[in-house]
Structure 1
Amino acid sequence: MSEILVNIKPKDQFIEKRQFQSIKRQVVNNIMESPDEIRFSLMGAIISDLKNNIDSIPFLISKKLKEKQKNVSPEQIRIKTIQLSEKDFKVETNLQDILNYNIEEEHKIVQSALLALGSFNQRLIEMKAYDAVTILDEEDQSLFDKKYQFLS
């Protein structure tokens, strides 16, 4: 499937690369049904990250801020996750203090970072489910190292 989609390029100059990748992902998701094991594993991974793996979230927030030409190191970012219910979490950061962000700007950055973490988790879980191996690019390798640093 990916061999077919890799050759499809956006012809409309008004579609951003990220939007086009999202559309391709939606096409694949509608063609291929994920096994229940993947969906359950993904939910468990996200909940585990929010409960335990706090270091990867500031790392991703910092990365998302760099995309917006804001240089904030992961060490400067303070986060607190609050579990509201079994599957609902609230994430508080200090972005409003260090960047004078309003609540909406803070929410967009945190949301983008958490979606990136979810996407990363999904790729790892799918590799495991399908006994697939892939090479991590430099960004994914950095996130992998941060997420699993407790193993070293």
Structure 2
Amino acid sequence: MLKLIKLLVVMAAAGMLALAASGGAYADQLNRSVTKSGMTVHYGIVPAEQARSVDRGASEPVELASVPGLSSYHLVVALFDKATGERISNAAVSATVTGPGPKSRSRTQVKPLQEVIVNDMVTYGNYFDMSWRGRYRIDLSITRKDSAKPTNVRLTYDHHP
């Protein structure tokens, strides 16, 4: 847990995290976490170029190794069992990110979040295009290895590049 906090502090110190949560989940804006269905989700949005510098030393899937575009941001999620405080690994996590604005401008991206290990800590992440200023809706679908039914968590991200 201490390693996660250190990672989040480094990211916050660089001014990389700016999320709010909604949709039936509890959000603590100071530590960027949501608790739902016995699971605590810590999350952040990081500009792609800064995520690449954090990824040094990470076991990174090939799909994440390519250089993302200028409007690309990395969604990172860490999962914990609320009752035990233990980190959840081997989960299947996907994100549906819907951009701000009218339907003519907004677009929806659906991607799996890849498991990434940094300093022996499991997180899940992927890159998303966030070209527009405004509020993005992020819907996570998290299926734990011991459950067939996914937990759905809704987040919002106010993007101000």
Shorter chain as normaliser: what TM range?
A: under 0.3
- Larger strand percent: 2
Structure with more of its chain in helix, by fraction: 1
TM-score by length of 2: 0.26
